[in-house]
Amino acid sequence: DAKTTQPNSMESNEEEPVHLPCNHSTISGTDYIHWYRQLPSQGPEYVIHGLTSNVNNRMASLAIAEDRKSSTLILHRATLRDAAVYYCILKMRAQKLVFGQGTRLTINP
């Protein structure tokens, strides 16, 4: 399973943008980059995924480096409800999700 590296924790302020980095230098051509988050006392929740191009949805944006060896999840305007553990996962279609330790994001009011 291809590995990802994320900071253990990050802190930001409410209503400010948050950039969560992820390094994946051993990514293969068929690996999709997935982001899930887990709010306290809940199951993980899908956030966004991409293959090569940057992606936007109602929750976040995903910026993928040109060489695909790193990516950044962008929360445009953090709220207190965005406090969670964020997991960056490389996954081929039909394969299992392999979770690492993730980044624990704290949002200050």
Partner 1 sequence: DAGVTQSPTHLIKTRGQQVTLRCSPKSGHDTVSWYQQALGQGPQFIFQYYEEEERQRGNFPDRFSGHQFPNYSSELNVNALLLGDSALYLCASSLAYFRAISTDTQYFGPGTRLTVL
* Residues contributing to the site for partner 1 (CB under 8 A): 32, 34, 41-46, 49, 85, 87, 91, 93-102
Structure token digits, residue 69: 């060896």
Closer of 13 and 54 to partner 1 (Cβ): 54
> Which residues have C-beta within 8 Å of that of residue 28, sequence separation ≥ 6?
2, 90, 92
Instruction: Using the minimum distance from each CB to partner 1, give the nearer residue, 34 or 68.
Output: 34
Nearest residue (CB) to partner 1, 14 versus 61: 61
Four-point Cα dihedral 40, 88, 62, 96, nearest 10: -100
Smallest separation (angstroms) from partner 1 to the CB of 66: 21
In angstroms, what is the minimal distance from the CB of 69 to partner 1?
20
Q: DSSP 3-state assignment of 1?
A: coil
